């Protein structure tokens, strides 16, 4: 003890080290990545639900490489639906029938005759689409007729879809009696169908009716409309033997979210693929 009677002063220094694992900032980076991934996922789900098939094809084409790596579906919006004079060299082939086409290519490697037949069929489908949509520069239909037509290639074949407009239906309301615009459409389509020899199928679809109806006519009328289209094609000059089936699908496969929309009133003419 010092002479003045005071106790010595002791200073204790506490060493502070970095926080433990749960106090660090690394988890924030991982959490931010997780939130970003979830946001991207829900944005993708929203886009798939809020866009049409043609718009989704357009988005896919935006990311399409200059040289197609795989012959998968292409397309887009606009006057030419994503096509140009360089489509075959720069974009994957249009339509959703790429799987069937790729299978045909694989099979053709072992069968030159099948390769030739598949190429002729693809050229025929393309020529019909060009004639319908006016891609060749000389449309076979007026703008009024073209408003009713959508075409696409699937594994089943080339689908030519004819559909109602709000101000211009294909059939008299609630009946299978075709309007004048339908007769003009069938006359134009049959003229193009002579370019190929593929068999055909006809599908009829309708918009939904009110559920309070005691007798819902959608099954009956959709089938009758498909049959009426078959009759019109035969009367216009199509060989009746080419039609292999007709079917009415009622309101079971709408193309727009509003089940009551007139856009769901439509007829599909399917050029069936040949079995090579």
Give the tens place of pLDDT for each residue, 97-123.
555 555 555 555 557 887 888 888 889
Q: Quick one: pLDDT band at residue 158, thresholds 50, 70, 90?
A: very high
Please report whether residue 196 resides in a domain: yes
Please report whether residue 6 resides in a domain: no
Ranking 34-43, 74-83, 110-119, 245-254 by mean pLDDT, the lowest is 74-83
Give the pLDDT confidence score for residue 107 in this predicted structure.
52
Model confidence at 163: pLDDT above 90: yes
d(CA 180, CA 190): 16
Domain end (from 61, 94, 127) = 94
* 38, 74: one domain: yes
Please report whether residue 15 resides in a domain: no
Across 14-37, average pLDDT: 75
* 269, 152: one domain: yes
Please report whether residue 5 resides in a domain: no
* 134, 260: one domain: yes
Please report whether residue 51 resides in a domain: yes
Please report whether residue 106 resides in a domain: no
In terms of pTM, does the model score above 0.75? no
* 133, 263: one domain: yes
* 60, 90: one domain: yes
* 266, 155: one domain: yes
Query: In whole angstroms, how far apart are CA 78 and each of 56, 60, 271?
Result: 13, 15, 25
* 44, 172: one domain: no
Q: Which residue range(s) make up the domain with 199?
A: 114-276
Tokens of 8: 């010595």
In the numeric block, the tokens 């003229």 are attached to 191
Q: How many domains does the chain have?
A: 2
């Amino acid at each position: 003890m010092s002479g003045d009677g005071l106790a010595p002063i002791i200073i204790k220094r506490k060493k502070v080290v970095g926080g433990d694992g749960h106090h660090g900032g690394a988890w924030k980076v991982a959490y931010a990545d997780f939130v970003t991934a979830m946001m991207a996922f829900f944005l993708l789900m929203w886009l798939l639900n809020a866009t049409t098939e043609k718009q989704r094809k357009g988005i896919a084409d935006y990311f399409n490489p200059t040289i197609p790596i795989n012959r998968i579906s292409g397309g887009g919006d606009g006057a030419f639906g994503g096509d140009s004079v360089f489509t075959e060299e720069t974009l994957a082939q249009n339509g959703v029938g790429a799987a069937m086409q790729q299978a045909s290519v694989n099979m053709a490697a072992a069968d030159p005759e099948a390769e030739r037949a598949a190429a002729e069929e693809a050229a025929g489908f393309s020529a019909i689409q060009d004639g319908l949509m006016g891609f060749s520069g000389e449309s076979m239909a007026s703008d009024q007729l073209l408003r009713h037509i959508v075409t696409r290639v699937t594994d089943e074949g080339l689908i030519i879809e004819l559909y109602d407009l709000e101000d211009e239906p294909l059939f008299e309301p609630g009946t299978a009696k075709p309007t004048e615009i339908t007769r003009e459409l069938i006359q134009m389509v049959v003229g193009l169908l002579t370019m190929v020899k593929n068999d055909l199928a006809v599908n009829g679809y309708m918009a939904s009716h009110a559920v309070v109806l005691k007798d819902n006519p959608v099954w009956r009328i959709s089938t009758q409309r498909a049959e009426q289209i078959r009759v019109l094609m035969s009367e216009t000059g199509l060989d009746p033997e080419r039609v292999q089936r007709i079917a009415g699908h009622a309101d079971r496969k709408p193309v727009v979210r509003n089940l009551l929309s007139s856009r769901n009133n439509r007829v599909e003419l399917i050029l069936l693929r040949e079995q090579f």
